[in-house]
Amino acid sequence: MMRVISIVSTKGGAGKTCIATNLATHAASLRGQKTLLIDIDPQGSSIAWADNREETNLTTITTPTNRLDKVLSSAKDDGVSTVFIDYPPHGDPNVTIAARQSDLIVVPCRPSSSDLQAMGATIEVIQFVKKPAVLVLNAVPARGTLEAEARDVLKATGIDLFKDSIGDRVAFIRAFAAGQGVIEYEPKGKAAKEVKALYTYINKKIKS
């Protein structure tokens, strides 16, 4: 059974592409996981990242949202196990329609006041499509109270919140520049550990 996981945020700069590429590379590293990463963001950040890749264990493509259903159908026929979709940061009606095809929506959010204030629009999309979702605190500083404060705000939304967080780590930047996921760039590092934990969490969420 093919699973479709969408990385969605209506705010730019939330870290969607970072989350999408790292979850996809981790999934592709697992035995028997034929993985597809679909970039429907006009900025094409995931595609640009894939152009720098030397590994061939992950297929990355781009498609307009109005062809997403056909692409997903072909992926299923090709035996793809898991699909990750990197969404554009705006409220395009086609994006809302496409989100309905997801088994799970992952919403990254930085622990800043502007990001938290902008979460309302993303929450509306989730509620409209009526799909399971997980909020993920992303690019969290190692010190300070921002994470705790952000958690209080996000818990109030009533949407599932990942119990850990993704740190603001140099490994993510260097891995991205090299066309890698942190699981490939620094497999025993803290960033890779965080990505593995998030993948395990969303995997359980889909199965539950």
Report the first-to-last Cα separation within the chain, whole angstroms.
Answer: 15
Confidence of residue 10 (pLDDT cuts 50, 70, 90): confident
% pLDDT > 70, the chain: 98
pLDDT tens, residue by residue, 86-130: 998 766 677 787 788 999 999 999 999 999 999 999 999 899 999
State phi, psi for 106 to the nearest 5 degrees: -105, 125
Q: Is the pLDDT of residue 60 over 90?
A: yes
Q: What is the pLDDT of residue 92?
A: 67
pTM for the model: 0.96
- Structural domain harbouring 79: 3-207
Integer Cα distance of 43 and 181 in angstroms: 19
Residue written as token pair 């898991």? 82
Q: Are strands 35-39 and 133-137 parallel, antiparallel or unpaired?
A: unpaired
- The count of domains in the chain is 1
CA 35 to each of CA 81, 104, 144, 167: distance values in angstroms, whole numbers, following the listed order: 6, 16, 37, 25
Q: What is the pLDDT of residue 191?
A: 98
* C-alpha torsion 206→72→50→90, nearest 10: -80
User: The domain that contains 85 carries what CATH number?
Assistant: 3.40.50.300
